[in-house]
């Protein structure tokens, strides 16, 4: 109690500003902050939906919402199922192909052509020899051969139309070409079925009009 | 103080960091949204509210409704139904496959459902992986079989009927200021226009809340109504109240809503939990008979 009057006097004599010396920040604190930052970023990465304006809780990502909202036409979803079994092994699920060996389907000028007549023949009877896609050569050595996938599986016109619709109009490939109806490819299908299991070459295919 | 500039820089950095995180990044994220296509209904969502309803928002604001009512539907999860939309040609195989997918349904129900096909839901309330598995199983039958996965929002707000889906930023484009609210002393009002489409109910409820909801703690908004002496004929828009409800024993008066009350009710009736848009996967909605957007029925504008 007796000290109550004293402190002010003591401090009032000292007019100096308080000063900070050089003190190193403790390393454990730095480490803890870094760990906290890491947890925070992990949390955002998992929960923030990529900061996309179209993603809200409880949806984890834009792809998830897209998968729920945009319902594919039935041809596309059936075509996807057939593609995954029969085509994705070489051309990849993304349609990107393998450089120099298996040509891409995504963005390919063969796929986006106005008429699917060449595509039907390739898918049914297969392809051998070198081929140019978007001016880029593939299979220059001519060693790789595309088998007669369609003939081997005895695809009918509906199944072929589903597959071609998927690679032309499926959103995974971004080709944006129109879908294919079974009625559009009856001629090409009968020609391909007659040909059986002998593969086409690029020169033979280019003789077939697609405009 | 020998570290003034350092302190200043530190404080400036901390404040500007919060500005970047809390102001700038949300602005970049959702600051330039536009009305979106409602996926089923053929109109843009949201649509601007009618004039009375816009004025009603300001009445809502001045009456302080936001202190007890929220306008945000929350969603905690999503469940899926799987429906058969087309049985295709191998109906027997489809029946067998569905029996394996969901044996609890029973053979008779499945056969009947496959025969009628039209949106036969054979699996309910499953998660996404289970729904995808079921779709795979049935689609493998082939023969032009078609299935559909129906996403259904879940959560306590949704099971209370406060909305069919969660609220998203786009829903509030035309609200200024946005009346989100943080208290739920009263129910959420996001969907009140669908839940209580009757304007007379709202007038009664505003004037004498306990006349329609006996347990309601809501205050009376008598100042939104005019009490005037009865003429020879009752006014067309006078409230139909029991004397005891109105709190006026003599019965020589009638209670008439003012302009503000009409605007507020028009606003309440315009509050509808929005349609299916991209951000909110939910079951398809049936299209209304007319092509135009379903305009809120503003019964007050007589």
Contact (CB, 8 A) for B43 and B285: no
Percentage with pLDDT > 90 across chain B:
46
Measured in angstroms, the CA of B6 and the nearest CA of chain A are apart by: 11
* Among the partner residues A19, A58, A81, nearest to B76 by beta-carbon distance: A58
Cβ distance A53 to B29 less than 8 Å, yes or no, reads yes
Cβ contacts of A77 on chain B, cutoff 8 Å:
139
CB contacts of A54 in chain B (<8 Å) are: 278-279
- The answer to whether the Cβ–Cβ distance between A54 and B151 falls below 8 Å is no
From CA B95, how far away is CA B117, in angstroms rounded?
11
- What pLDDT, on the 0 to 100 scale, is given for residue B299? 41
What's the Cα-to-Cα distance from B247 to each of A61, A110, B227, B240, B260, rounded to whole Å?
55, 81, 12, 13, 21
In terms of phi and psi (left: phi > 0; alpha: psi -120 to 50; beta: otherwise), the region of B75 is beta
Query: What's the pLDDT score for residue B227?
Result: 86
Q: Measure the CA–CA gap between B158 and B179, rounded to whole angstroms.
A: 19
Among B35-39, B101-105, B168-172, B278-282, the range scoring the smallest mean pLDDT is B35-39
* B166 touches B73 (CB < 8 A): yes
The CA-atom distances, in angstroms, between A25 and each of A28, A29, B3 are: 9, 7, 15
Query: Are A157 and A185 within 8 A, CB to CB?
Result: yes
Element (H, E) at A190: helix A186-195
Percent of the residues in chain A that have a pLDDT greater than 70, as a whole number? 91
pLDDT in tens, B170-215: 999 999 899 999 999 999 999 999 999 999 999 999 998 988 999 9
Given pLDDT bands bounded at 50, 70 and 90, which one contains residue B15?
very high
Whole-angstrom distance, CA of residue B131 vs CA of residue B148: 9
B248-257: long-range pairs with CB below 8 Å, 24+: B253/B227, B253/B228, B253/B229, B254/B227, B254/B228, B254/B229, B254/B230, B255/B207, B255/B225, B255/B226, B255/B227, B256/B225, B256/B226, B256/B227, B256/B228, B257/B203, B257/B207, B257/B224, B257/B225, B257/B226, B257/B300
Quote the pLDDT of residue B220.
92
Classify A127 as helix, strand or coil: strand
- Is 0.90 exceeded by the ipTM? no
| Cα first-last separation, chain B | 71
pLDDT at residue B292 in the model:
44
Please tell me which of the candidates B33, B75, B139 has its beta carbon nearest to residue A53: B33
Please give the pLDDT value at position A70. 57
DSSP B21: I
Q: How confident is the model at residue B245 (pLDDT cuts 50, 70, 90)?
A: low
Closest-CA distance, B239 to chain A, in angstroms, reads: 43
CA A84 to chain centre: 14
| Contact status of A154 with chain B (Cβ, < 8 Å) | no
3-state secondary structure of B194: helix
Given the structure tokens 């369609």, which residue do they identify? A150
B148, B149, B281: residue with CB nearest A65:
B281
Q: Which of B3, B77, B139 has its CB closest to that of A58?
A: B77
Chain A nearest CA to B159, separation (Å): 16
How confident is the model over B3-32, as a mean pLDDT? 93
Query: What is the pairing mode between strands B225-229 and B253-257?
Result: antiparallel
Q: What is the pLDDT of residue B158?
A: 93
A71 in contact with chain B, both atoms CB, cutoff 8 A: yes
Q: Which of A71-80, B22-31, B161-170 is least confident?
A: A71-80
Kindly tell me if the per-residue pLDDT of B247 is higher than 70. no
Express each pLDDT in B256-272 by its tens digit.
Answer: 999 999 999 999 999 98
**E strand or H helix that includes residue B85:** strand B77-86
Tell me the residue ranges of DSSP E strands in B91-234. Answer: 120-126, 146-154, 225-229
Q: Does position B115 have pLDDT exceeding 80, yes or no?
A: yes
Q: Which of A101-105, B1-5, B52-56, B76-80 has the lowest mean pLDDT?
A: B1-5
Provide the β-strand partners of residue B149.
Answer: B82
Establish whether the linkage from the previous residue to A166 is cis, with ω within 30° of 0: no
Searching chain B, which residue's CA lies closest to the CA of residue A61?
B279
Q: What is chain B's mean pLDDT, rounded?
A: 85
- Three-class secondary structure assignment of B206-271: HHCHHHHCCCCCCCCCHHHEEEEECCCCCCCCCCCCCHHHHCCCCCCEEEEECHHHHHHHHHHHHC
- In DSSP terms, which residues pair with B255 in a beta bridge? B227
In angstroms, the separation between the Cα of residue B278 and the nearest Cα of chain A is 6
> Which residues of chain A carry a pLDDT beneath 70?
1-14, 69-73
Judge: A19–B2 Cβ closer than 8 Å, yes or no.
yes
- The predicted structure's pLDDT at residue B243: 57
Residues from chain A contacting residue B39 (CB–CB below 8 Å)? 69
Q: Is the pLDDT of residue B302 over 50?
A: no
Q: Do B30 and A77 touch (CB under 8 A)?
A: no
* pLDDT value, residue B14: 96
Instruction: Return the pLDDT at A37.
Output: 96
pTM: 0.67
């Amino acid at each position: 109690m007796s000290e109550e009057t004293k402190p002010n006097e003591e401090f009032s004599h000292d007019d100096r500003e308080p000063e900070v010396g050089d003190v190193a920040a403790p390393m454990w604190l730095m480490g803890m902050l870094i760990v906290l930052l890491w947890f925070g970023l992990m949390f955002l990465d998992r929960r923030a939906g990529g900061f996309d304006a179209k993603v809200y809780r409880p949806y984890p990502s834009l792809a998830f919402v897209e998968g729920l909202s945009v319902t594919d036409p039935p041809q596309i979803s059936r075509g996807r199922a057939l593609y995954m079994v029969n085509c994705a092994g070489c051309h990849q699920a993304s349609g990107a192909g393998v450089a120099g060996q298996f040509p891409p389907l995504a963005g390919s000028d063969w796929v986006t052509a106005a008429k699917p007549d060449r595509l039907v023949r390739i898918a049914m009877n297969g392809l051998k020899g070198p081929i140019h896609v978007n001016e880029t050569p593939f299979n220059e050595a001519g060693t790789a051969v595309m088998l007669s996938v369609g003939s081997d599986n005895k695809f009918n016109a509906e199944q072929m139309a589903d597959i071609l619709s998927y690679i032309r109009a499926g959103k995974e490939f971004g080709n944006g070409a129109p879908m294919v109806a079974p009625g559009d490819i009856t001629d090409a299908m009968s020609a391909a079925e007659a040909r059986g299991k002998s593969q086409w070459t690029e020169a033979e295919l280019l003789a077939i009009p697609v405009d | 103080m020998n570290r003034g500039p350092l302190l200043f820089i530190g404080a400036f950095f901390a404040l500007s960091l919060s500005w970047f995180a809390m102001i700038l990044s949300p602005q970049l994220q959702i600051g330039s949204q536009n009305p979106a296509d409602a996926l089923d209904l053929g109109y843009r969502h949201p649509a601007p509210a009618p004039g009375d309803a816009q004025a009603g928002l300001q009445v809502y604001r001045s009456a302080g409704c936001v202190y007890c009512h929220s306008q945000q539907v929350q969603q905690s999860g999503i469940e899926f139904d799987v429906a058969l939309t087309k049985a295709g040609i191998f109906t027997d195989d489809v029946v067998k496959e569905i029996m394996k997918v969901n044996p609890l349904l029973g053979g008779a129900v499945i056969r009947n459902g496959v025969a009628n096909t039209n949106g036969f839901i054979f699996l309910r309330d499953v998660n996404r992986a289970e729904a995808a598995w079921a779709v795979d199983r049935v689609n493998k039958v082939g023969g032009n079989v078609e299935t559909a996965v129906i996403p259904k929002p879940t959560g306590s707000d949704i099971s209370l009927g406060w909305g069919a889906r969660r609220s998203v930023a786009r829903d509030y484009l035309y609200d200024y200021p946005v009346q989100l609210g943080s208290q739920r002393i009263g129910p959420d009002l996001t969907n009140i226009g669908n839940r209580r489409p009757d304007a007379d109910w709202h007038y009664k409820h505003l004037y004498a809340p306990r006349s329609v909801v006996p347990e309601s703690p809501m205050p009376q908004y008598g100042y939104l109504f005019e009490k005037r002496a009865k003429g020879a004929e009752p006014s067309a828009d006078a409230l139909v109240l029991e004397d005891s409800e109105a709190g006026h024993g003599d019965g020589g008066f009638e209670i008439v809503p003012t302009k503000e009350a009409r605007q507020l009710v028009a606003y309440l009736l315009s509050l509808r939990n929005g349609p299916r848009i991209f951000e909110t996967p939910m079951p398809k909605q049936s299209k209304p008979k007319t092509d135009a957007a379903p305009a809120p029925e503003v019964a007050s504008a007589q």
